[in-house]
Amino acid sequence: MEFLLASAVGVMTAAGVYLLLRARTFTVVLGLALLSYATNVFLFAMGRLVIDQPPVISALAKGYSDPLPQALVLTAIVISFAMTAVVVVMALRSFLESGTDQGMLEPVPHTTPSAGAEVAEGSR
């Protein structure tokens, strides 16, 4: 079971990093989502998953499951949803302004040689 969880975390992390390094914005959003899923699975695995055990200690319970990783993952799910929503809105805004989803606008030339020469002659 540990090998399966470790493999799943590794594959999701590798796929997330690969998608983050792509030039298109939608794949970057998917890469961020995969990285957050990998983090959530990692936190669950670190919490020693226990099946059929209560999350609180009682006098009748022989064992318990740790509720802290569950609370951390629940918080991480909410944060990753908000982060994904913000990134999608930013990507949509960039697409509407530039007409492409490459994420970078065309560079604007600072000065041209002819414009620089005219300015230099006019100042004399």
> What is the largest distance, in Å, between two alpha-carbon atoms of the chain?
95
Given the candidates 1.10.3470, 1.10.150, 1.10.287, 3.40.50, the CATH classification of the domain at 2-51+63-105 is: 1.10.287
77 Cβ partners below 8 Å, 6+ apart? 40
Which pLDDT does position 17 carry in this prediction? 95
pLDDT profile of the chain (124 residues), mean per 10:
89 95 86 92 81 70 76 91 91 83 64 57 55
Query: How far apart are alpha carbons 45 and 19 in whole angstroms?
Result: 24
> In the chain, where are the structural domains located?
2-51+63-105
Tell me the DSSP string of 102-114: SS-PPPPPS--HH
Amino acid at 42: F
Query: How far apart are alpha carbons 74 and 118 in whole angstroms?
Result: 63
pTM as predicted? 0.67
104 Cβ partners below 8 Å, 6+ apart? none
